[in-house]
């Protein structure tokens, strides 16, 4: 990080698979001392944990009970809570936004009521146990909508599908605010994956703004091997923050510390896919340099609108599949080596001050 770059207020990590990793026998350590992931990351300066929520997912893969357990642990370690609603029973992303089977058959109005009630209940559950959410993300990477088909965006849909998506988002946002304790400051995050696509980004958020949806933060997924160099992230964050006067958060990111063990389909196994491999080689030192540079980009967003960064699944080691029985595709993007030892990039990602 450059000297004088301020620390962003959010320096978080998605640790949703932590219970599965522990059940698989993984033990993590920093400086030779073993500790749970939330305490290791808090000790390096992390401020928040992001917890994935699936409606009726397999145990450990986004179920509410597991998320509540992790929230209690994180809170006890001094971390704040960021909830990531997928509104699905599995991964939600630009290519997959499957409506939960138990919600199928509803019309749009009934589905919106269900989304409101579910969101309100879950947010209230976290508050009730003493771990209120500071951030609630209503949908995951919703560039193409959510809860398909009723909330899908596309040229084949009436008015591009916007009436359906806006109705569902409105219900989700209202549910989040209704479930949050009176007087508690809650920020609603709208999350997309549009990096380096100013036309698409503006089209999306122009419609959201025109509809008057009361959101607080623009969340972006940024993985260099999918989205391009840091310059594209910088231009996207600067454009969105200036156009909408809204804080912008890197809600997901990751970078390899090795090419060994990378998944060629779901992850990254070839350094040729890294757009700035010369600056940030896939080594522990290169990974640290990436996070330092990322922090600089966030700190340079005008008017202090760069809200922060969330590292995605820094402790996802081998033995925990992306679904039950599957492989672990991102073990070379973690902040721990194969023996569970903390890598130097963690300090660059989470440090409360420049180092």
Q: Are strands 33-34 and 29-30 parallel, antiparallel or unpaired?
A: antiparallel
Instruction: Give residue 355's pLDDT.
Output: 47
Instruction: Give residue 7's pLDDT.
Output: 87
Instruction: Give residue 353's pLDDT.
Output: 73
- 194 vs 80 pLDDT, higher one: 80
CA-CA distance, 263 to 277, in Å (whole number)? 18
- In tens, the pLDDT along 323-334 reads 888 888 889 999
CA-CA distance, 26 to 19, in Å (whole number)? 10
User: In which region does residue 32 sit, left (phi positive, over 0), alpha (psi from -120 to 50) or beta (all else)?
Assistant: left
Average pLDDT over residues 113-137: 99
Average pLDDT over residues 104-131: 98
- 228 vs 197 pLDDT, higher one: 228
Q: What percent of the chain has pLDDT over 70?
A: 97
CA-CA distance, 149 to 23, in Å (whole number)? 36
Least confident of 130-134, 210-214, 302-306, 320-324: 320-324
Q: Which of 22, 252, 313, 323 is catalytic?
A: 252
Class of domain 10-350: alpha beta
Asked if residue 2 has pLDDT above 70, the reply is no
* Of 312, 331, 341, the residue nearest 258 (C-alpha): 331
CA-CA distance, 301 to 233, in Å (whole number)? 10
- Residues 325-345 as b or e (16 or more Cβ within 10 Å = b): eebbbbbbbbbbeeebebbeb
Asked if residue 76 has pLDDT above 90, the reply is yes
Q: What percent of the chain has pLDDT over 90?
A: 87
The chain-wide mean pLDDT, for the chain, equals 95
Asked if residue 308 has pLDDT above 50, the reply is yes
Instruction: Give residue 201's pLDDT.
Output: 92
Q: Which of 141, 276, 313, 323 is catalytic?
A: 141
DSSP state, residue 170: H
Instruction: Give residue 4's pLDDT.
Output: 57
Instruction: Give residue 269's pLDDT.
Output: 82
252 is catalytic: yes
The number of residues making up the chain comes to 355
């Amino acid at each position: 990080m450059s000297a004088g770059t301020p620390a962003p207020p959010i320096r978080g990590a998605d640790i949703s698979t932590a219970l599965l990793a522990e059940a698989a026998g993984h033990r993590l350590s920093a400086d030779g001392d073993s500790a749970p992931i939330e305490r290791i990351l808090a000790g390096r300066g992390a401020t928040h944990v992001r917890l994935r929520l699936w409606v009726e997912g397999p145990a450990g893969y986004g179920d509410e009970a597991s998320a509540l357990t992790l929230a209690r642990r994180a809170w006890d370690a001094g971390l704040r809570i960021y909830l990531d609603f997928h509104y699905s029973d599995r991964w939600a992303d630009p290519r997959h936004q499957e409506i939960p089977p138990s919600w199928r058959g509803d019309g749009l109005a009934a589905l919106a009521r269900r989304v409101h009630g579910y969101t309100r209940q879950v947010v209230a559950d976290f508050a009730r146990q003493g771990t209120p959410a500071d951030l609630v993300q209503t949908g995951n990477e919703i560039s193409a909508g959510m809860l398909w088909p009723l909330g899908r965006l596309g040229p084949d849909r009436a008015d591009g599908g916007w009436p359906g998506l806006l109705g569902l988002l409105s219900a989700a946002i209202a549910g989040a605010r209704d479930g949050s304790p009176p007087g508690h400051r809650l920020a609603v995050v709208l999350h997309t994956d549009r990096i380096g696509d100013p036309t698409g980004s503006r089209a999306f958020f122009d419609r959201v703004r025109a509809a008057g949806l009361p959101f607080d933060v623009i969340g972006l997924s940024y993985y260099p091997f999918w989205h391009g160099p840091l310059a594209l992230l910088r231009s996207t964050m600067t454009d969105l923050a200036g156009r909408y006067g809204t804080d912008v958060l890197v809600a997901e990111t990751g970078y390899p510390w090795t090419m060994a063990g990378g998944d060629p389909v779901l992850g990254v196994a070839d350094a040729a896919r890294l757009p700035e491999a010369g600056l940030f080689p896939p080594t522990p030192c290169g990974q640290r340099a990436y996070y330092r540079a990322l922090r600089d980009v966030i700190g340079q967003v005008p008017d202090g609108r760069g809200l922060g960064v969330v590292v995605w699944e820094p402790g996802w080691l081998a033995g925990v599949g992306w679904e039950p029985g599957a492989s672990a595709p991102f073990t070379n993007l973690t902040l721990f080596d194969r023996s569970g030892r903390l890598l130097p990039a963690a300090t660059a990602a989470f440090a409360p001050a420049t180092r």
